[in-house]
Amino acid sequence: MFKKILIANRGEIAVRIARACREMGIVPVAVFSDADRASLHVRMAGQAYPIGAAPSRESYLRIDKLMDVARRAGCDALHPGYGFLAENPDLARACAENGIAFIGPSPDAMERLGSKTAARQLAARAGVPMVPGVADPIEKLQDAERIAQGLGYPVLLKAVAGGGGKGMRLVAAAQQMPAAWRDAVSEALNAFGDGRVYLERYLDRPRHIEIQILGDRHGHIVYLGERECSVQRRHQKVIEESPSPVMKPELRRAMGEAAVQLAREAGYTNAGTVEFLVDDARNFYFLEVNTRLQVEHPVTEMVTGLDLVKLQIRVAAGKALPFAQGDVVLSGHAIECRLYAEDPANNFFPSPGTILSRRVPGGPGIRLDEGVYEGFTVSTEYDPLLGKLIAWGSTRDEAITRLERAVAEYSITGIKTNAALFLEILRDPQFIRGEIYTRWLDERLPLLLANGKKTGASDVSAEDAAILTALFHQLGLNRAAHANGAHRESESRWKREARLEQVDRG
Amino acid sequence: MFKKILIANRGEIAVRIARACREMGIVPVAVFSDADRASLHVRMAGQAYPIGAAPSRESYLRIDKLMDVARRAGCDALHPGYGFLAENPDLARACAENGIAFIGPSPDAMERLGSKTAARQLAARAGVPMVPGVADPIEKLQDAERIAQGLGYPVLLKAVAGGGGKGMRLVAAAQQMPAAWRDAVSEALNAFGDGRVYLERYLDRPRHIEIQILGDRHGHIVYLGERECSVQRRHQKVIEESPSPVMKPELRRAMGEAAVQLAREAGYTNAGTVEFLVDDARNFYFLEVNTRLQVEHPVTEMVTGLDLVKLQIRVAAGKALPFAQGDVVLSGHAIECRLYAEDPANNFFPSPGTILSRRVPGGPGIRLDEGVYEGFTVSTEYDPLLGKLIAWGSTRDEAITRLERAVAEYSITGIKTNAALFLEILRDPQFIRGEIYTRWLDERLPLLLANGKKTGASDVSAEDAAILTALFHQLGLNRAAHANGAHRESESRWKREARLEQVDRG
Amino acid sequence: MTYEILINGTKRSVAWDSASMAASIDGRKIHADVAATSSGAYSVLLDGRVFEVTVEKDGDGWLLRTEGREFHVRIADPRSLRRGRDGSVEMEGRQQIIAPMPGKIVRLLAAPGQKVELGQGLLVIEAMKMQNEIRSPKSGTVERVAREGQTVTAGEILAVVV
Amino acid sequence: MTYEILINGTKRSVAWDSASMAASIDGRKIHADVAATSSGAYSVLLDGRVFEVTVEKDGDGWLLRTEGREFHVRIADPRSLRRGRDGSVEMEGRQQIIAPMPGKIVRLLAAPGQKVELGQGLLVIEAMKMQNEIRSPKSGTVERVAREGQTVTAGEILAVVV
């Protein structure tokens, strides 16, 4: 087994990987940019080394610096996490050249599946059903307009190098194409350094359901159930769950076997995800492959009882999978919500800043994967994901009520977060009935945001509580200021305050 | 289903019950003593009412005040938690008289099983094997000496009303009996207001293994696997796990069926625990019944996937158990450690005080059930249990390494805790091999405490880190004091400090 | 003592006798027990009902959060009230659009002097790797707008619509 | 600047050039990067190795915790060192037993003048509902012991063994 693993990432996923290393007796080695010296992933590591300035192009995207640290620290393996260089075959190749095991697929398999157009070609050969469209990059706007006309609007423009909705645009009608083309190309160029886009027909109310696969180097590939990721805002996943509320055993087997077949065609090893769209009639269409660990992997871990990161490490070390497809048992239901430093009331603008105080949930069935702490400053340099809150329940209903309970326990000051929005989603009757599709949240959002502001009987009390707390807080500060700059510890009780005040008066 | 549940308890168990209520849409109603206004169980409740002065005899042990609050707040049920009045039939009777459902067994069943001597008589009738001894209370020292002589030393003096090791004394030889008798009687009187004690033969290296049972009012009683609680300090459980490392399916069935048989004889409903001693040859001996939820119930929850508190509430509301014995599946392994505000280096003296800062673990397979928060003051009034840290793993080894990883992540300042001791236990080869028995920790403790102080190569670095941090901290404070009382936020970097210092010099 | 409190734009008259935990808001009587827990966090009991409330600085007032709701609260100084100085006139008509965080203007969608509708795009800002379209909060005329390519800091004016 | 530091009773000579993150402890060179995280908590990198260290007040020095170990540290003021005032003589032989928290003496097990062995019980104290036997930290003679029934506060002397 490996002795030291370089974690070529930051934030919650770097923390997640460090935890797996610790449990395996492997030293986790962190890298950090100038903005991240005090970040949680550094604090949780066994060793940590600086790799450059805050912008990721000068640090987390620098293969040369990563190789440098790996050599210096004596790392025998590298885990790329997700994002940054995770799907860049050059990193995998650099690892191979430096004798470091890359914890992920081979560079060749990554290339065969990582590009959407290449993956579609492979899927076509493997007989996996696909959404009608054009797998090749489109040269210019005029071609896009012509192809879209042929497929019929609405169509979806997607970045060849894309992921996470970046460089993706829905085009409802022909007159929207020029603006959408411009935006998609520029966003793709900005995000991936590759402005190529392609087109496909837009399904009406499809679900996003993806299959987790895992393969070793001895020819075994298994699927570990599915994740339903239909709750998205602007093509970004917001809530994920496993199993899907519409899944049936035969559909799971069909999708799982299609995913494994595709992986086999590509010579794929390690963890990966095959994404599908599923329509009302439970037809499934291949979307793309993510050749890495997903943000939402914990829901799969909670229903299978497997530790995907540890398994990734084991198969990268050449071990055989310790179980067969028939041993995989899905138990209960898990739901995850992604906590972001952003302000839902202000068009979801990122909300960087220092976390002043924080209360995190606990108790039965709750898992929190975070990259932050009280006192930590969320910077503007990176993705504003604070962490993921995941609930497990014996049924979907129990998982939903647990997650709702846990979100209500979660509190943070100093920055704004999207936590309160999850309360609205988790209480929404359509969500509770599982009637979700990829545009569901975008369409439902105005109603959900309005619900969050609605005034009811209980809100009068909430307002009263706010008024009296503000007064108590202000008077406490006034008194502290009065006491000539001396630092007063917070008083424990209104009553005690009152006594002090009477003394002041007396 | 109930609308409002009065939680007649405090600390982590009151928080645990409040969470279950929230998930069921039931309003949790807290009570608090003068010492507990700002306690977490109050903050987590839907409603909260004061019930008197800090000493529990004036608050948490006052049945009249509890009934008062229940009526005032309109509660239709009461959950007693563990400790305090949980095993007091008078509370259950007062609930019945006030038309409030008591979430626990009937007062009669409680009396039949709650007294150790009564339970032993019942166990004898039910044919459950027992440790040789005398089930009846012993009148005076001379009788104890005579009976002990008959059984043969070592013997165990135990409080009739006892629990948690209070009023329990091991007597190795005849000359120790007078002191042990005095201590046991006085401690029992102090703790339970009942100084009666009895005697039994002391087994050499027994394991403490207990069976979780759960019964509804429709005649169904099931057992939910076992918990091994052999790691004890002075008869107080410190680490609990499920399954037991020595358990075999046939032994589990035999013990489970014995427990269910005993419960059936007593007309028992709701959750309960039947404790056994198990010797080297896997013979089991009935010890006692706890007619309530146990501190260590989470390990059972994690391997069964059941929520015991929700099930308690459901069966108390008259619902039938939603599963049969054959549906109970144990999956993986769970281990819990009890975090106490106490100082292992100073004879485990309680360490009350205000929690200044706190870092809690997270990530896969970790559950934290706590009753404290940053800024909370641990008082001297109550049991110094801060909370419980529980890890689940697919195997016992994985659960151990997870728990070890999580304990290492746990950090608290302002008070002392026993957290570091768990690192030593979880790394101990005997513990890892499962070679534990009820006196194991007491015998192993000197070695474990010495291990925690051992100086190795890595400890030189730890000492260096301590030296440089102390210097950095002191210099930062000096500089802040220099800045004429202005409050400085913590600096983010030594380098920045350095720059400031150079400016100061320049 | 009675305080005038502005909460989400509404004025409330609040009296309290802290010794007896008796409060009154616009004449409604409430038994109120407020206890500080952590820094900026309070446990509040109103007639026995539990609230968890956090407080943060918010301009010259406070941002309070409880039960997933946000409240902007400003407490008028009773003395300045007596001097009749409490009213801060709300801006009407002229709308400034402020950058909520640092970013870069990557495209302009409207020019000064141009008529715009409510919700019409004014410019596209890139911040934290995400492009976001900034839309007009009202129908009117663009008075001012930032430069394309300009780097803005939090609080900087992006556009003014009159 | 060089500082004299007492750690768990041992004296160390520590130098550091903070600008270059170069430290030296008793002549050993270390690359040391210390960053404050939360209040009283630091992230420390020593030649790339990561430590989480917490600091608390501990008499006239500091209690530091890292990797499950505790360190008591006192930093000598360089000026007072020069004035030769740094040495605090360690007590040898005479052992005071201090109450670590408030409690009540429920039983005496030894009387003044009595010879006791290492580990022999001196008294039983009840605190937080638990009875605990206090044992002698050395073989010697009991010089002083608290009264039975006495209520003691934290820091109070329970017994002295010489």
Please, are residues A404 and A421 in contact by the beta-carbon 8 Å criterion? Answer: no
pTM, to two decimals: 0.83
> What chains are in contact with D, requiring at least 3 Cβ pairs below 8 Å?
A, B
D59 interface with A at CB cutoff 8 Å: no
Q: Which class would CATH give C95-161?
A: mainly beta
Chain A nearest CA to B411, separation (Å): 12
Which portions of chain D are predicted below pLDDT 70?
77-93, 100-101, 128-130, 154-155
The residue among B456, B457, B459, B429 whose CA lies nearest residue B444 is B429
Residue B474 in this model has a pLDDT that exceeds 90: no
pLDDT tens column, C93-129: 677 777 766 788 888 888 888 888 877 788 888 776 6
- Predicted confidence at residue C128, as pLDDT, reads 66
Q: Say how far apart CA A470 and CA C34 lie, in whole Å.
A: 10
In tens, the pLDDT along B170-201 reads: 999 999 999 999 999 998 888 888 889 999 88
Cβ distance of D35 and A47 shorter than 8 Å: no
d(CA D68, CA B407): 9
Which pLDDT value is given to residue A492?
36
Angstroms from C33 CA to nearest CA on chain A: 6
The reply to whether C37 touches chain B by the CB within 8 Å rule is yes
Contact criterion met (CB < 8 Å) for A15 and B363: yes
Q: Which of residues 74-113 of B touch A (CB under 8 A)?
A: none
Query: Which residues of B are less than 8 Å from A490 in CB distance?
Result: 375
Of C35, C48, C52, the CB nearest to B37: C35
Tokens of A326: 């028939």
pLDDT for res B458: 65
Instruction: Tell me how many degrees the CA angle A158-A160-A164 measures, rounded to the nearest 5.
Output: 60
CA–CA distance, B7 with B80 (Å, rounded to integer): 6
How many CB atoms lie under 10 A from the CB of residue B76?
Answer: 16
| Annotated catalytic residue within A292, A338, A358, A396 | A292
The radius of gyration of chain B from alpha carbons, rounded to an integer in Å, stands at 25
pLDDT at B480: 54
Q: Give the pLDDT mean for B104-108.
A: 97
Fold (CATH) for D2-80:
Glycoprotein, Type 4 Pilin (3.30.700)
Instruction: List chain D domain ranges.
Output: 2-80, 95-161
Which pLDDT belongs to residue C85? 32
Residue A32 vs residue C19, higher pLDDT: A32
- The Cα A387–Cα A368 span in angstroms is 7
- Among B112, B292, B314, B439, the active-site one is B292
C23-32, C153-162, D152-161, range with greatest mean pLDDT: C23-32
Name the DSSP class of B326: G
**Separation of first and last alpha carbons in chain C:** 42
Spatial distance between the Cα atoms of C139 and A406, rounded to a whole number of angstroms: 41
Nearest to D144 by CA among D109, D115, D99, D112: D112
Q: Do B289 and B271 touch, CB atoms closer than 8 A? A: no
Give CA separation, D39 vs B100, B409, B481, B488, in Å: 47, 17, 16, 11
D54-57 contact pairs (CB < 8 A, 24+): D54/B357, D54/B411, D54/B413, D55/B413, D55/B469, D55/B470, D55/B473, D56/B356, D56/B413, D56/B414
CA distance linking residue B216 with residue A400, whole number of Å: 26
In three-state secondary structure terms, D119 is coil
CB–CB of C37 and B46 under 8 A?
A: no
Respond yes or no on whether the N-terminal peptide bond of residue A105 is cis (omega within 30° of 0). no
| Chain B CB contacts of C42 below 8 Å | none
Burial class (CB in 10 A: 0-12, 13-18, 19+), D79: exposed
Residue B387 phi, psi (nearest 5): 165, -175
A96 touches chain C (CB under 8 A): no
Side-chain-side CA neighbours of B91 within 13 Å: the count stands at: 29
What span, in angstroms and rounded, lies between the C-alpha atoms of A44 and D52? 8
Helices (H), B193-296: 249-266
Tokens for D20, please give them: 């270059």
Which residue of chain A comes nearest to D36, CA vs CA?
Answer: A38
Structure tokens, A201: 């027909």
Q: Does D37 touch chain A (CB under 8 A)?
A: yes
C52 touches chain B (CB under 8 A): yes
Pairing of strands B197-201, B155-159: antiparallel
Other beta carbons less than 10 A from residue A97's beta carbon? 9
Beta strands in A190-235 (DSSP E): 197-201, 207-215, 221-233
Residue B496 has what pLDDT? 37
- Are the folds of D2-80 and D95-161 the same? no
- Using the beta-carbon criterion (under 8 Å), do A38 and B493 form an inter-chain contact? yes
Q: Between helices B107-114 and B249-266, what is the axis angle to 10°?
A: 120
What is the structure's pLDDT at B485?
A: 35
**The pLDDT of residue B360:** 95
CA distance D1 to D14: 8
| Structure token pair of residue B187 | 């401690």
What pLDDT sits at residue D77?
63
Cα–Cα distance list, A281 to A204, A207, A216, A284, A285 (Å): 12, 11, 34, 9, 12
**Contact partners, residue D85, CB within 8 Å, separation at least 6:** none
Q: Which of A349, A357, A467 sits opposite C100 (nearest CB)?
A: A349
Top residue of B7, B13, B19 to mutate, by most chain A CBs within 10 Å, is B19
- If one counts every other C-beta atom within 10 angstroms of the C-beta of residue D12, the result is 16
pLDDT, one tens digit for every residue, chain A (506 residues)? 999 999 999 999 999 999 999 999 999 999 999 999 999 999 999 999 999 999 999 999 999 999 999 999 999 999 999 999 999 999 999 999 999 999 999 999 999 998 877 898 899 998 999 988 876 889 899 999 999 998 889 999 988 887 667 888 999 999 999 999 999 999 888 888 888 999 988 888 999 999 999 999 999 999 999 999 999 999 899 999 999 999 999 999 999 999 999 999 999 999 999 999 999 889 999 999 999 999 999 999 999 999 999 999 999 999 999 999 999 999 999 999 999 999 998 899 999 999 998 999 999 999 999 999 999 999 989 999 999 999 999 999 999 999 999 999 999 999 999 999 999 999 999 999 999 999 999 999 999 998 877 766 567 899 999 999 999 998 876 665 544 333 333 333 333 333 333 333 33
Contact across the interface for C38 and A357, Cβ inside 8 Å: yes
Q: Is residue B451 predicted with pLDDT exceeding 60?
A: yes
User: Catalytic annotation on B493?
Assistant: no
Backbone φ/ψ region at C151: left (φ over 0), alpha (ψ -120 to 50), beta: beta
Percent helix, strand, coil in chain C, to 5, is 5, 60, 35
Sign of CA dihedral B223, B228, B230, B232: negative
Is a pLDDT exceeding 80 seen at residue C86?
no
Yes or no, beta carbons of D128 and B384 under 8 Å apart: yes
pLDDT value of residue B241:
98
**Which amino acid belongs to residue B299?**
V
